[in-house]
Amino acid sequence: MHLFVVLSACVVDRGEGVYIENKTDETLAVFDDGTQRNVVAPGDTASYVILEFEGTMTFTVKTLVGRELASRTFTWDEIREEDGIRIIAGE
């Protein structure tokens, strides 16, 4: 299996959106700054909204057994410029 994870853009009126698409055959957990926000089954999608913050925020995708697939740190300005975060995990 090849793993491809993209962290990029999506729009929400209040705050900024985090959209997750799981194209893998494993259930994935999505974290921001170490706090688990979503569990996404294979072939499923999920989303949530983050509000403005200071400093940086790190988004991480892991399998349920704790194997890290991707991690990226953003500032609020970077997230606003991209109109949110888009996480696509899969082949």
In the numeric block, the tokens 């953003």 are attached to 74
Indicate the domain borders of the chain: 4-90
* pLDDT of the residue at 34: 95
> pLDDT tens digits for the chain (91 residues)?
445 555 555 544 469 999 999 999 999 999 999 999 999 999 999 999 999 999 999 999 999 999 999 999 999 999 999 999 999 998 6
* pLDDT of the residue at 91: 64
* pLDDT of the residue at 4: 52
User: ∠ CA(67), CA(72), CA(74), 5° rounding?
Assistant: 150
CB 32 within 8 A of CB 57: yes
Architecture of domain 4-90: Sandwich (2.60)
